[in-house]
Amino acid sequence: MFSFHSALPARRGLLYVALAATAWGTAGAAAALLFRHSGLGPLALTFWRSLGGAAVLLALRPFTGPRRSGRPRTAPRTAPRSAPALVRVLLNGLGLTLFQAAYFLAVRHTGLAVATVVTLGSAPVLVALGGRLLMDERLGRAGVSAVLGAVAGLAVLVLGDGTSGPGADPVGLAWALASAAGYAAITLATRHRASRTGAVDDPAATTLWSFLICAACLFPFALAEGLLPAAGSLPSTLALLGYLATVPTALAYALYFAGAAVIRAATASVIALIEPLSATAIAATLLGEPLTPAALLGTAVLLLSVTALARAELRAAPGTVPGTAPHSG
């Protein structure tokens, strides 16, 4: 069992974010199968994913909650054991709602490849801008090069998939950018609180509240769209929903919130670009989709960029904890 409640060194934070991004990459395949056989739409699927993720986290709460004793004296201040401040919880939940719902809507309009690439390609730019404005984070030459390299790798992936995939529909692109904005808001809010106050919320509790708010916000829209799956697909739908709620949702987001609190916001955003890489690998190995030379090149550029930025983070802040990590500027 991962320990989500304690302070993490930067190295483990990087690992947690990388694992979260890898798990997120499997969500696309599960969602594609659900869209094909269950009859669920994007809003209904997002509702069930959020509600299921909240249920899993609630069941695991006794194992992932804060320790009652034995906390080291050097650990950073944590938020009160009661629910986090209402405004902070609502903002985080609304950001998650926008991120997930807008992404599935983008997939419906412009296809999985373009939606994923535009969402995750624009997120580092939004996070870098927000980090500069809110936290005075400066990437430096190495960081800027890594971000540009990651965006370039994503562009190569788009060009490689554009010949066979659907076109970049303007409505789909708008939803993808909205999803990136929700993602950037979550990333920046998590890091900003840790750097400004030295206090961190329990990541499992943060994730649980966010999913509950997401499910509550989407319920009326999911009901209007069609909340129940087709009767003939119920066993496979329940199995896929169970996986979607557990691995790329409850586990992945808990890992992400834990890791994002101890590394720079732009670093977390770029490392999360592993998601389209894992999705591409799954498509090639399990679904038999061939990798074009452009896709291989884009994958290589992305991996090199993520590795370079991760190494820069470790050199800049080895073993740091929330509230003590120095800014690059």
In whole angstroms, what is the distance from residue 47 CA to residue 52 CA? Answer: 8
State the amino acid at position 8 in one-letter form.
Answer: L
Q: Which residue has the higher pLDDT, 227 or 132?
A: 227
Averaged pLDDT for residues 269-293: 71
Q: What number of other Cβ atoms are within 10 A of residue 194's Cβ?
A: 22
Residue 194: pLDDT band with limits 50, 70, 90: low
The partner residues of 77 in beta bridges, in order of sequence, read 199
Q: What number of other Cβ atoms are within 10 A of residue 141's Cβ?
A: 8
Percent pLDDT > 70 in the chain is 68
Write out pLDDT tens, residues 131-183: 777 777 776 676 677 778 777 877 776 666 555 444 456 788 789 889 989 98
In whole angstroms, what is the distance from residue 52 CA to residue 254 CA? Answer: 14
Residue at token pair 């992305």: 302
Residue at token pair 């720079």: 264
Write out pLDDT tens, residues 312-322: 666 665 444 33
Q: What number of other Cβ atoms are within 10 A of residue 119's Cβ?
A: 27
Residue at token pair 């999913």: 211
Report how far Cα 188 is from the mean position of its chain's Cα atoms: 12
pLDDT for position 3: 46
Dihedrals phi, psi of 164, to nearest 5 degrees = -110, -20
The answer to whether 64 touches 57, Cβ cutoff 8 Å, is yes
Which of 178-187, 229-238, 264-273 bottoms out in mean pLDDT, i.e. has the lowest?
264-273
In whole angstroms, what is the distance from residue 247 CA to residue 207 CA? Answer: 14
The answer to whether 258 touches 13, Cβ cutoff 8 Å, is yes
Write out pLDDT tens, residues 23-36: 888 887 788 778 87
Which of 69-73, 122-126, 211-215, 293-297 bottoms out in mean pLDDT, i.e. has the lowest?
69-73
Measure the CA dihedral 74/77/82/85, to 10°. -160
Closest CA to 15 of 204, 271, 317: 271
Mean pLDDT of the chain: 74
Residue at token pair 């009767």: 231
Write out pLDDT tens, residues 34-67: 887 888 899 999 999 999 989 988 887 776 555 4
Q: Which residue has the higher pLDDT, 148 or 284?
A: 148
Specify the 3-state DSSP secondary structure of 227: coil
Closest CA to 14 of 185, 198, 300, 267: 267
